[in-house]
């Protein structure tokens, strides 16, 4: 498979250079749900009008997405950089490929953390490249120092900046060795926020010395490891920029701090510019894109109308409100990434199905190994006997259109205990179903209460009040076991004597791993 050669900056017109800074989503896992391949025609038509720099892939399906991306690359005069949020493996955005547990799970593996993470990233990069994706929007380099953080939480490797820095370096190195491009995010640190930047404007109001000590070490580690991209945060840091501008639009943060003080020479990409933390500040996408570019952003992610933004920015360049030298600098960094990818060995041969299955077995083993008994402190996990009446109650903080009819925990438990009764509650607890669940749990036997406590864009974090009341009532019953499929902090207020476990993730393998621990088969 031949790869087109990226042109030089001098070979592009002003509009073409500006278009190279635009990265547009392909596919969607939010309503209305669209697979990446179903979105191919729209992207192809856009390429005829606006030679964008790359794509943000959502909701791909293997192997169809590979074919779609191959056709789009052939239509584009300048090679496309294709990126995706792959914090949890290529299967996070390409159905059929491997899904790994959240980052926090790897931090539980002790001496095996680095080797397991290196294996996971190598697999992720290989599968992504086979699918046509070159940029992994990973690692999350945020130290999750705020337990109430609604958007980082289990996506971070932990709370300790030094520990996060160590694992971030592993990700950057493993991705590079596999031929993919890592992107450390969200600079200068999203771990101490209590608000989701997707639907608001978070602020981290800490002194500069604390920010340097708590937020920056993982990014320093990423830079020292040769990370080619860093993603900005739509978060304000008054101690770093007294104007209150979010990092994405802050020259003191992206140019003076990131490039000047930390010495980063790679490309800076914005977080999604559809997020409220960015779009609500400007009257047009062109104005927003121009502000980000002037602050130090090289790659403008997730614009709704890139052609209009290019036209508006071109007028700003011609009127000298945007220096063309800044445009040339940014497009030069984008073209350098494209040249780097083009010079690597092509990944033309599909991964054999048996190899993908081996990858998935690796992911399952990691997910199970990460599960911990957190109360009473440590010790062996409790056991659910296959011959006793068993009730399972699962709570999830929000409903997604992509959710299965039942979470994987249901089948995993019922496979081992066929008579187990399973009840699942979304954020609104149905009164009749609640009464049925409580009655089943009160009927003696054994009870598992599982709580999904994970971050997700534009969604609530943690239990709703009705869920919390139900969980509190169930925790008082004899034989209760409580499990968090996410952060351990949600377990803190339950009675100390109740056995508690944490999987640090809600991916299917984490749920199945929990069932394996609680009711192991012979």
Q: Which residues are catalytic?
A: 198, 271
Q: What is the DSSP secondary structure assignment for residue 258, as one 8-state letter?
A: I
Residue 222 contacts residue 184 (beta carbons within 8 Å): yes
CA distance 344 to 263: 26
Q: What is the DSSP secondary structure assignment for residue 497, as one 8-state letter?
A: T
Residue 129 contacts residue 123 (beta carbons within 8 Å): no
Determine the angle formed by the axes of helices 113-131 and 161-177, rounding to 10 degrees: 40
- The full DSSP string for 190-256 is -TT-SS-TTSS--B----HHHHHHHTSHHHHHHHHTT-SEEEEPS-B-TTT-TT--BGGG-HIIIII
CB burial class (10 A; 0-12, 13-18, 19+) of residue 296?
buried
From the list 510, 488, 518, the residue with the least C-alpha distance to 408 is: 510
CA distance 363 to 360: 5
Q: Beta-strand (E) ranges in 386-520?
A: 390-395, 421-425, 446-453, 480-486, 500-502
- Residue carrying the six token digits 């979105």: 39
Q: Which residues contact 115 (CB under 8 A, 6 or more apart)?
A: none
User: CA of 218: how far to CAs of 101, 149, 262, 278, 372, in Å?
Assistant: 20, 18, 12, 24, 25
Which sign does the torsion angle of CA 188, 192, 196, 201 carry? negative
- The full DSSP string for 347-360 is --SPPPHHHHHHHH
């Amino acid at each position: 498979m031949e790869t087109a050669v990226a042109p030089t900056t001098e070979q592009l017109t002003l509009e073409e250079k500006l278009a190279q800074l635009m990265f547009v989503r392909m596919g969607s896992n939010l309503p209305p749900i669209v697979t990446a391949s179903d979105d191919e025609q729209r992207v192809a038509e856009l390429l005829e009008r606006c030679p964008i720099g790359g794509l943000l892939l959502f909701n791909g399906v293997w192997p169809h997405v590979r074919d779609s991306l191959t056709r789009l690359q052939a239509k584009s005069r300048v090679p496309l950089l294709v990126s995706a949020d792959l914090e949890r493996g290529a299967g996070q955005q390409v159905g059929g490929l491997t899904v790994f547990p959240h980052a926090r799970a790897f931090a539980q593996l002790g001496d095996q953390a680095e080797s397991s993470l290196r294996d996971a990233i190598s697999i992720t990069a290989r599968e992504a490249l086979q699918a046509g994706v070159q940029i992994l929007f990973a690692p999350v380099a945020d130290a999750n120092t705020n337990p109430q953080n609604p958007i980082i939480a289990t996506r971070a490797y932990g709370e300790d900046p030094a520990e996060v820095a160590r694992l971030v370096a592993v990700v950057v190195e493993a991705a590079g060795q596999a031929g993919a491009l890592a992107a450390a995010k969200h600079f200068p640190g999203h771990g101490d926020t209590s608000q989701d930047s997707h639907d608001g404007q978070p602020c981290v109001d800490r002194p500069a010395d604390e920010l340097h000590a708590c937020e920056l070490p993982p990014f320093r580690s990423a830079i020292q490891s040769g990370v080619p991209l860093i993603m900005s945060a739509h978060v304000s840091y008054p101690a770093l920029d007294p104007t209150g501008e979010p990092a994405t639009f802050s020259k003191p943060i992206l140019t003076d701090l990131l490039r000047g003080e930390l010495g980063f020479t790679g490309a800076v990409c914005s977080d999604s510019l559809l997020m409220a933390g960015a779009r609500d500040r400007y009257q047009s996408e062109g104005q927003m894109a121009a502000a980000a570019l002037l602050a130090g952003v090289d790659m403008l992610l997730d614009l709704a109308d890139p052609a209009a933004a290019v036209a508006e920015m071109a007028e700003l360049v011609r009127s000298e409100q945007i220096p063309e030298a800044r445009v040339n600098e940014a497009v030069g960094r984008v073209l350098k990434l494209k040249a780097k990818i083009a010079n690597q060995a092509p990944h033309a041969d599909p991964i054999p199905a048996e190899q993908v299955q081996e990858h998935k077995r690796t992911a399952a083993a990691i997910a199970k190994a990460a599960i911990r008994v957190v109360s009473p402190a440590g010790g062996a996990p409790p056991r659910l006997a296959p011959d006793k009446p068993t009730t399972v109650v699962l709570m999830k903080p929000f409903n997604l259109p992509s959710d299965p009819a039942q979470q994987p925990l249901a089948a995993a438990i019922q496979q081992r205990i066929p008579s187990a009764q399973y009840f699942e509650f979304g954020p609104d607890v149905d009164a009749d179903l609640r009464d049925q669940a409580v009655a089943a749990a009160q009927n003696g036997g054994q009870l598992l209460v599982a709580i999904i406590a994970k971050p997700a864009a534009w969604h609530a974090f943690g239990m709703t009040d009705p869920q919390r009341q139900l969980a509190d009532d169930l925790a008082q019953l004899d034989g209760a076991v409580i499990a968090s499929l996410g952060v351990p902090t949600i377990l803190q207020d339950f009675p100390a004597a109740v056995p508690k476990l944490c999987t640090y993730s809600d991916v299917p393998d984490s749920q199945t791993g929990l069932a394996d621990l609680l009711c192991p088969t012979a």
